[in-house]
Amino acid sequence: MSISVSIVIVNWNTGDMLGDCCRSIVGADMAGIALNEVIVVDNASTDKLRPRPDRNQLPLHLVVNDDNKVLEPLAIRVQRWQPVN
């Protein structure tokens, strides 16, 4: 039996660190884990470095905010995300 997991990454101008983070998920030992999705919430970054699903081999969803939201509204927005079937 595997554990079903969704990962949420909140991002603001992290540059290459966001790519490193996504690559570390790809390279992780996922024995016994079913990765449903990786949700990246971008808080109006100006560095223009956003991950793309084809580049990172992840079930990636990108939520782009027009301004830098505080974490509480972000948590509410992520909770409303439609889960992967």
The reply to whether 17 falls in a domain is yes
> What is residue 40's predicted lDDT score, i.e. its pLDDT?
87
Does 42 reside within a domain? yes
Per-residue pLDDT of 26-77, as tens digits, reads: 989 989 999 999 988 888 888 876 555 555 688 888 888 887 766 656 565 6
* pTM as predicted: 0.73
66-70 CB contacts, 8 Å cutoff, 24+ apart: 67/43, 68/12, 68/43, 68/44, 69/43
d(CA 67, CA 22): 23
Nearest to 63, CA basis, from 6, 3, 20, 23: 6
Is 45 among the domain residues? yes
Domain that holds residue 75: 3-79
Give me the residues paired with residue 37 across strands.
6
Distance between CA atoms of residues 64 and 44, nearest Å: 7
62 forms beta bridges with 40
